[in-house]
Structure 1
Amino acid sequence: MKKIRNNLVGVDQGSHVLFEDYDVGGEMWTGSGNREVWHPVRFAQPFKTPPAVHVSVTMWDMSTEANQRADIRAANIRSDGFELVFTTWEDTKIARVRADWMAIGELPYEDDWDLY
């Protein structure tokens, strides 16, 4: 459990289209090549410590000719941002994906001192 030590709690959120491979014959649509997308996200302002980050798929356009396989996660969560990671595998064909995210965490307080 993440504990927040002061009353300055920040919530930041966003939405990103991670790829649109259908029109360009990209790897996610053809089913070969790199099947993972990393998208850097920067927060509007840094948190005091790395926040809790929630990610979700909010739009997907997939072929129905194969099983629909997907994984989405937040990686390398830092005070100033993180990487949004979407992965698929085997013969799944994905035309496009949009992901939303929300970060909740402690903000810096004006009385915080950095002594060393």
Structure 2
Amino acid sequence: MKSIGSMLLVASAFVLATASPTTPSPTTPQSDCWYEDDFTACFVNQTYAKVQPKITSLQEKITKLEQSLKNRKEFRCESGSIGDANWPTMPTWPLTKNIKFKTPFETAPTVTYGLSYIDIDVSSQDRVRSEVASVTNAGFQLTVTTWQSSKLWGARATWMACGI
């Protein structure tokens, strides 16, 4: 098995040596390995000289990516809900809450919201609305309401704010 590895190394060296241009270029090693005392060391040195610019380029790219990761802003989310259910007394609508984030965002986040619970009297029309307003980096306003003859016994709106 050792002799096959040695033969492959010699064959690779022969291919590289014969494929090299006869006139050295600035990137081609000047030394001819066939006339060196330590053929393996010469071959390794020439091979390294050929791939060294690519290695340097990759190292520079890695350094830039590492720097980019250090400067990356932390993306995060906060969530919660508001609501009211006060059986047997019907709550007063609209219900408006000013939500303050635990930690302010750097810029106003994107707020996603929706109704997660409603309790409506079956004898009335079903009308419920939730709205988000005044979104800033520190908080926002969330309202749950109904109108006209709707009898809303309870409602909850759930929200999630995500950003930097």
Superposition CA RMSD, Å: 1.5
In structure 1, which of residues 78, 89, 93 is the aligned counterpart of residue 147 of structure 2? 89
Q: Cα 1:61–1:80, aligned 2, differ >3 Å: closer, same or farther?
A: same
Match of 2:135 among 57, 77, 84: 77
Any idea what the Cα deviations from partners look like across 1:55-109, whole Å, max 9, x if unmatched? 1111111111111011101111111111111121110001111111000111xxx
1:10 corresponds to which residue? 76
Give TM-score scaled by structure 1 length. Answer: 0.72
Aligned positions of 1:26-105 closer than 5 A: 26-27=91-92, 35-105=93-163
Number of aligned residue pairs: give it. 93
Identity of aligned residues (%): 26
TM-score by length of 2: 0.52
Question: What residue ranges of structure 1 are gaps of 5+ in the alignment?
Answer: 1-5, 28-34, 107-116
**Unpaired segments ≥5 residues, structure 2:** 1-71
Letter in 2 for 1:23: P
Higher relative helix content: 2
Distance of aligned partners of 1:76 and 1:11 in 2 relative to their CA distance in 1, 3 Å threshold: same
Greater RCO, CA 8 A, separation 6+: 1
- The CA deviation string for residues 23-71 of structure 1, in whole angstroms up to 9 with x for no partner, is 23433xxxxxxx3221121112100111110111111111111110111
